[in-house]
Amino acid sequence: MAPLSDPSCHPGAGDVALPADRPNAEITPIVALVGPPNSGKSTLFNQLTGLRQKVANYPGVTVEKHIGTARLPDHRALQLVDLPGTNGFAARSMDERVTRDVLEGRVRGLRAPDALVLIVDSTRLETQLMLVEPTLKLGIPTLLVLNMADELEQRGGAVRDDDLAEQLGVNVVRTNARAGDGLDQIRDFLIGVADRGLLPPRPGPALSNIVTGTPLPMVDQFTERRRRIQEIGRAAGFVLPRGSQLTEQLDGLFLHRIWGPLIFLAVVVLVFQSIFTWAVPLMDGVQILVAGSGAWMAEWLPESWIRALLIDGVWAGVGSVVVFLPQILVLFLFLGLLEDSGYMARAAVIADRTMYRVGLQGRAFLPLLSGYACAIPAILAARTVEDERDRLATIFVTPFMTCSARLPVYALLIAAFIPERQLVGPFLGTRAATLLGLYILGALTAIATAALLRRTLLRGQRDSFFMELPPYRIPSVRSIALRLYDRSRIFLRRAGTIILAVAIVLWFLTQVPQSGGAPPSIDDSFIGQMGQMIEPVLRPLGFDWTIGVGLISALAAREVIIGTMGTLYRVEDPTQGSLQLQDALRSHLDLGAAVGLLVFFAFALQCMSTVAVMRRETAGWKWPILQFSYMLTLAYGFAFFANWLI
């Protein structure tokens, strides 16, 4: 079973180790990275700490503080805190509150920072500098980093760093964080921070967009600040760069009235078709490796219960899941390209009217999209949604988005039950279309549920949506490769922990009670008896007890069901030469029940980690329990309907 509080789908999605957990001797200065969204804080953080927090080309990727250690050239260490981006200190949304609380020193176990690195996108310096004034009010050493300086220069913009530094009274450096340029100057600043050591404890400052106690209304305070920033910009010779030519041209296409939505559709179809076509040669390769290793083990291990455990339990269980790694990677390759290029924000704009009609915030679209990878980071990402009722509606419907753990289950069942035929020439086959249909089913249910919630439990007014569209950038090979590598590690780690453990336990449960030293038939084994107890509940859906056991084991994580079926069917029929899970499934399910099982997976909240994160993000059991029951009811109802219909 997955550790409940561990959002195991996503690297760095969970709580972070706070320095307070460590011995006192290691207390080191804390430097916080602050700045507007999508200015490159996490990229810089990763460069300085060697960690790999998620980065992408849209605002709102980081929604939690992350702490890492930066080693200086002289081997001293500093704690760096990467913070969610913020445009101001009104702290309307949860992620902005995280940033404010860290800066004000109000987080338990984390001292207020001893220095700040303020990172801004230098191509739109004046807007970004609006954050400088309130930040400097904190009165701690600050370094201003003009990031994306390469883009500023390429597009004919300019600023004199020295004059800017003099005007603002802070040190200024230029960087291109993606390429790692300018990092040495940041390290110089960090050396200075380490030399000074910890700041003495001080009364907690309060951050705010506005100065209270002045007669000026908020708008005028902003215009005043803006006037001062513009003066500073003028004195520092700031020249606004030309608009990005590439962005101009691509937007002309991707946001075109007719081409835009068509391209959107084509991109989606391409992704699904690729999952079934590109991934096939890779899957065959993995399959050969898995089958070969199984045959090798079978040959070399002496006949004993250990051999049976390793081959019928572990190899059949874990191996059945591992073969789906290539499909997961194809999905993440596309997600990575879409996120890093800047297309995602455009997709959000195209979909915004639909979101508006159902009453969801447009801002909810990006968290929902990230739900295609895993619901857990998506639920966290909903922190960027400002209105609390909007946020609750968003996280409630997030698990309907088809997460990558469902993909292997879908792929297996579709390959077993849907014959491949061309639908739209070579562009779309029946299998890809079925997969696409399941994704659409999830998305439509999410939208319908959101509309229902906004008219019942979570009524509220509509917001004034706007979204920043970042310039298009060419995704770096390194960044995409790292994502795929991290994703493979997560997938294989799950296969090596949860799925392995389930396979071992299951195998033992198939071997007892023994009679006369021989294992029982699978129907008489403990697991068989347990399964038959729940079978009456699942009969109306066309599922037998093996599927029932699979569904229960899938509560740990959805793809576990494949491992479970692999182990159970192997024990049932050890003559299976290779991983012929598809054949075994066909003898246990008819088409109606198979469609029912697909639909069940589309709807059911088969993931305890998601339930745990829901509890944490809603501070109570009410929402997770409601969500679990609602999704289970839908799953059961629609699976019943599918089985009855077909």
Partner 1 sequence: MRPIQSASHDPTATEPHLVDIRLREVVELVRINLPTDQMEPLLERGLLPGCQLCQVRQSPSGDPIVMVDGTLLAIRREVARCLCVRRPGSNGA
- Contact pattern for partner 1 over residues 197 through 216, marking x by CB under 8 A: ------------x-------
Residue 151 Cβ vs partner 1, minimum distance, rounded to whole Å:
10
Residue 134 or 519: which CB sits closer to partner 1?
134
Residue 96 or 101: which CB sits closer to partner 1?
96
Residue 247 or 529: which CB sits closer to partner 1?
247
Window 575 to 604, contacts with partner 1 (CB under 8 A): none
Residue 208 Cβ vs partner 1, minimum distance, rounded to whole Å:
11
For the record, the structure tokens of 469 come out as 């569209």
Residue 422 Cβ vs partner 1, minimum distance, rounded to whole Å:
30
Amino acid at residue number 188: D
Residue 139 backbone class (left: φ over 0; alpha: ψ -120 to 50; beta: rest): left
Residue 339 or 352: which CB sits closer to partner 1?
352
Establish if 307 lies at the interface with partner 1 (CB under 8 A): no
For the record, the structure tokens of 14 come out as 């969970």
Establish if 278 lies at the interface with partner 1 (CB under 8 A): no
The window from 83-91, 102-110, 308-316, 317-325 that contacts partner 1 (CB under 8 A) reads 83-91
- Nearest 10 degrees: Cα torsion 502, 503, 508, 510: 110
Establish if 245 lies at the interface with partner 1 (CB under 8 A): no
What does the radius of gyration of the chain's CA atoms come to, in whole angstroms? 27
Planar angle of CA 269, 272, 277, nearest 5 degrees: 115
Q: Exactly one of 126, 181, 188, 590 binds partner 1 (CB under 8 A); which one?
A: 126
Tell me the C-alpha distance between 335 and 272, whole Å: 12
Residues 204/112, Cβ–Cβ less than 8 Å: yes
Beta-carbon contacts of residue 151 (< 8 Å; ≥ 6 apart):
122, 123, 241, 244, 471
What number of residues does the chain have? 646
Residue 225 or 406: which CB sits closer to partner 1?
225
Residue 251 or 559: which CB sits closer to partner 1?
251
Instruction: Please list the residues that pair with 144 across neighbouring strands.
Output: 118, 172
The window from 86-94, 101-109, 319-327, 486-494 that contacts partner 1 (CB under 8 A) reads 86-94
Establish if 622 lies at the interface with partner 1 (CB under 8 A): no
How many residues at the interface with partner 1, by CB under 8 A? 48
Establish if 88 lies at the interface with partner 1 (CB under 8 A): yes
Planar angle of CA 326, 294, 553, nearest 5 degrees: 65
Residues 40/148, Cβ–Cβ less than 8 Å: yes
CB atoms within 10 A of CB 468: 13
> What's the distance, Cα to Cα, between the start and end of the chain in Å?
34
Query: Quick one: angle between helices 591-603 and 430-455, nearest 10?
Result: 40
Q: Exactly one of 211, 280, 467, 555 binds partner 1 (CB under 8 A); which one?
A: 467
Establish if 353 lies at the interface with partner 1 (CB under 8 A): yes
Establish if 29 lies at the interface with partner 1 (CB under 8 A): no
Tell me the C-alpha distance between 97 and 91, whole Å: 5
Q: Exactly one of 257, 456, 518, 645 binds partner 1 (CB under 8 A); which one?
A: 257
Binding site for partner 1 (CB under 8 A): 87-88, 90, 92, 123-127, 130, 209, 218-219, 222-223, 226-227, 240-241, 243, 247-248, 251-252, 255-258, 260-261, 345, 349-350, 352-353, 356, 362, 386, 462-471
